[in-house]
C-alpha cells in the first residue's frame, strides 16, 4: 500500500465498552487470541501512515505501547483519553507531530477495517473537505415516538457513517477548538467539522468496518476471523448377509467367480457392493439401499452391484458429498479372496468413480452361518465429506 505521507491516524480506544459489558475497556477485550486494539492496529499500520496516535484509558498506556510496537513501524504516540469520545479525539489532536497535514480519526472498535478503506479516506481529503466512509442503509426506517410509528423515513437520503474520518489538520483543529469553546458534544468528527462550516463527502465504507458495540458484534468479528468452519467428515456403516443359492454363478465384489455357488437375493446378490451402498448412504444421511434400490425401483431388479455403486456415488454427489474411502470386510468360507483382492478393490473403486476401496476377508473359525457354509456376511464402513465450497 502506498505510504500515507504527512498523514496521521488518531485511534480512539479510551471508551469503557459499557454496551459490550466484557469487564474491560472495549479496545482491550480479547478477540481471537489478541485484543480488539491489536486487530485495529493491523489495518492502521498496513495503510502506512506517517504517525499513529493511540488514545487509551488511564493505566493502559504500556499495554497500548506494546501492541503498537508489535504492529508496525510508524511514529507512535500514546495519550490518555477523556470522558467523551470528543474529549478523547481532542487529546489525540494535541499529540500530532509537526509536518502532519491530514488527520484521520478512527474507532479502535472498528477492529476489522480494511487498510484500503483507511487509504481511500486519506486520499479523498482536500482543503475544506472532510471525508467519511459510509454504507447505504439496508433496513426500512421509521420515525417513532415511544412505541408509536409516526412516519416513514426515505432511506435513499441516508447513509451509515463509519471511520476513519479524514480531515485537513488545521481545519479539524479549528473545528475542535470551536466545539470546545461552545461546549457542544458531537458523536462523530464529521458532525463537528460540519458544524464549523466544513464540507463533508463520503467514500464507500465496507461491511468489515462494522463497529464492535454489543456481544453479538464481538461474536460476528470472531466468526469472520475464524473463517469458514472446516468440513467435518461423516462416517457410515453397512452390512449385508446372503445365503448361498442352489444354482448360478457367484457375483461378488464386482467380479464373476466361476465355479463358486451364487448367492440368493434381489438383484445379483453382491453382498459386498450392497454393504458398501448402505455405508455410503448412511454416511451422507441419505437413507438406505432399500429406499433407493428396493422393490419400488424395478429398474434395478437383477442389476449388478457395480450399477448400484455407480448410482450411489451419483446420489452422494448430487447431495454435495464426495467419497473419502471405503473399507469392507467379507466373512465366509468361500470364495477365497486372497488371490483376487486387488482385482476386487479395483473393480469396486472404479464403480465408485475412483474412491479408494479396501477389501479384507476372514473365515469365522467354523462358527455361525458363515462357518457352516450356509452363506456370507459383509460389513462396510465409509467416510464421506462435503465438497469444498468454491
Ligand atoms: N471512545 C474514546 N473515548 C471515550 C468514548 C469512546 O476513545 N470517552 C472510543 C471508543 O474506545 C471506541 C470509539 O470511541 O473505539 C467509539 O465509541 P463506542 O463504540 O461508543 O465505544 P465505548 O464508548 O467504549 O462503548 P460504550 O458506548 O458501549 O460504552
Ligand atoms: Mg460510547
Q: Which tens digit of pLDDT belongs to each residue from 218-260?
A: 999 999 998 887 778 999 999 999 999 878 889 999 999 999 9
**Overall residue count recorded for the chain in this entry:** 390
For residue 390, the model assigns a pLDDT of 41
Query: How far is 83 from 210, CA to CA, in rounded Å?
Result: 23
Q: If you write DSSP's letter for every residue of 50-113 in order, what string do you get?
A: EEEEEEE-TT-HHHHHHHHHHH--SEEEEEE--SSHHHHHHHHHTTPPTT--EEEEEETT-TT-
State the chain's mean pLDDT as an integer: 94
For residue 139, the model assigns a pLDDT of 92
Closest ligand to Cα 14? 1
Closest ligand to Cα 85? 1
DSSP tag of 126: B
* Residue nearest ligand 1's atom 18 by CA: 15
* Residue nearest ligand 1's atom 1 by CA: 15
Q: If you write DSSP's letter for every residue of 191-239 in order, what string do you get?
A: HHHHHTT-EEEEEE--GGG----SHHHHHHHHHHHH-SPPPPPEEEEEE
8 Å CB contact between 375 and 263: yes
For residue 14, the model assigns a pLDDT of 98
- Mutation test residue for ligand 1: of 20, 37, 104, 109, the one with most atoms within 8 Å of CB: 109
Q: pLDDT tens for residues 293-326?
A: 988 888 888 889 999 999 999 999 999 999 999 9
For residue 267, the model assigns a pLDDT of 76
Closest ligand to Cα 211? 1
pTM: 0.69
Rounded distance from Cα 139 to ligand 1 centre (Å) = 24
Closest ligand to Cα 107? 1
Nearest to 168 by CA among 105, 102, 98: 102
- Retrieve residue 360's grid coordinates: 479384507
Query: How far is 149 from 146, CA to CA, in rounded Å?
Result: 8
* Residue nearest ligand 1's atom 10 by CA: 15
Handedness of CA 367, 373, 374, 378 (dihedral sign): positive
Return per-residue pLDDT of the chain as tens, 390 residues: 778 899 999 999 999 999 999 999 999 999 999 999 999 999 999 999 999 999 999 999 999 999 999 887 779 999 999 999 999 999 999 999 999 999 999 999 999 999 999 999 999 999 999 999 999 999 999 999 999 999 999 999 999 999 999 999 999 999 999 999 999 999 899 999 999 999 999 999 999 999 999 999 999 999 999 888 777 899 999 999 999 987 888 999 999 999 999 998 767 889 999 999 999 999 999 999 999 998 888 888 888 999 999 999 999 999 999 999 999 999 999 999 999 999 999 999 999 999 999 999 999 999 999 999 999 999 999 999 988 654
Rounded distance from Cα 136 to ligand 2 centre (Å) = 23
Q: Is 110 exposed, middle or buried (0-12, 13-18, 19+ CB in 10 A)?
A: buried
Rounded distance from Cα 84 to ligand 1 centre (Å) = 8
Which ligand 1 atom is at minimum distance from the Cα of 13? 11
Rounded distance from Cα 15 to ligand 2 centre (Å) = 6
Query: How far is 287 from 264, CA to CA, in rounded Å?
Result: 23
For ligand 1, residues with CB inside 6 Å are: 12-20, 26-27, 55, 81-85, 88, 107-109, 211, 213
For residue 223, the model assigns a pLDDT of 94
**Half-sphere exposure of residue 363, counting CA atoms within 13 Å on the CB side?**
12
Amino acid at each position: 500500500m502506498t505510504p500515507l505521507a504527512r498523514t496521521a491516524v488518531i485511534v480512539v480506544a479510551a471508551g469503557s465498552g459499557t454496551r459490550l459489558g466484557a469487564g474491560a475497556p472495549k479496545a482491550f477485550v480479547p478477540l481471537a487470541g489478541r485484543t480488539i486494539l491489536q486487530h485495529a492496529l493491523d489495518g492502521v499500520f498496513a495503510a502506512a501512515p506517517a504517525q499513529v496516535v493511540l488514545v487509551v484509558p488511564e493505566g493502559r498506556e504500556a499495554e497500548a505501547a506494546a501492541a503498537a510496537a508489535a504492529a508496525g513501524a510508524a511514529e507512535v504516540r500514546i495519550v490518555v483519553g477523556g470522558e467523551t469520545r470528543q474529549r478523547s479525539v481532542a487529546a489525540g489532536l494535541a499529540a500530532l507531530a509537526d509536518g502532519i497535514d491530514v488527520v484521520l480519526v478512527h474507532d479502535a472498535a472498528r477492529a476489522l477495517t480494511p487498510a484500503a478503506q483507511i487509504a481511500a479516506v486519506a486520499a479523498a481529503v482536500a482543503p475544506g473537505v472532510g471525508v467519511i466512509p459510509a454504507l447505504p442503509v439496508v433496513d426500512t426506517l421509521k420515525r417513532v415516538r415511544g412505541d408509536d410509528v409516526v412516519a416513514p423515513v426515505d432511506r435513499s437520503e441516508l447513509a451509515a457513517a463509519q471511520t476513519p474520518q479524514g480531515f485537513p489538520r488545521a481545519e479539524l483543529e479549528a473545528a475542535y477548538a470551536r466545539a470546545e469553546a461552545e461546549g457542544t458534544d458531537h458523536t462523530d468528527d464529521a458532525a463537528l467539522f460540519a458544524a464549523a462550516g466544513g464540507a463533508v463527502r463520503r467514500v464507500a465504507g465496507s461491511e468489515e468496518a462494522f463497529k464492535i458495540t454489543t456481544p453479538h458484534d464481538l461474536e460476528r468479528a470472531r466468526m469472520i476471523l475464524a473463517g469458514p468452519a472446516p468440513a467435518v467428515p461423516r462416517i457410515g456403516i453397512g452390512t449385508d448377509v446372503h445365503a448361498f443359492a442352489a444354482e448360478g454363478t457367484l457375483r461378488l465384489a464386482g467380479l464373476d467367480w466361476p465355479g463358486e455357488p451364487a448367492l440368493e437375493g434381489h438383484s445379483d446378490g453382491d453382498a459386498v457392493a450392497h454393504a458398501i451402498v448402505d455405508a455410503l448412504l448412511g454416511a451422507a444421511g441419505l437413507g438406505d439401499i432399500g429406499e433407493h434400490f428396493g422393490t419400488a425401483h424395478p429398474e434395478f431388479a437383477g442389476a449388478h452391484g457395480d450399477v448400484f455403486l455407480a448410482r450411489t456415488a451419483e446420489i452422494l454427489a448430487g447431495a454435495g458429498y464426495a467419497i473419502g474411502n471405503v473399507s469392507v470386510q467379507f466373512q465366509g468360507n468361500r470364495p477365497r479372496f486372497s488371490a483376487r483382492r486387488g482385482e476386487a478393490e479395483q473393480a469396486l473403486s472404479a464403480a465408485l468413480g475412483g474412491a479408494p476401496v479396501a477389501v479384507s476377508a476372514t473365515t469365522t473359525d467354523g462358527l455361525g452361518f458363515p462357518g457352516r457354509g450356509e452363506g456370507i456376511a459383509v460389513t462396510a464402513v465409509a467416510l464421506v465429506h462435503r465438497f469444498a465450497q468454491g
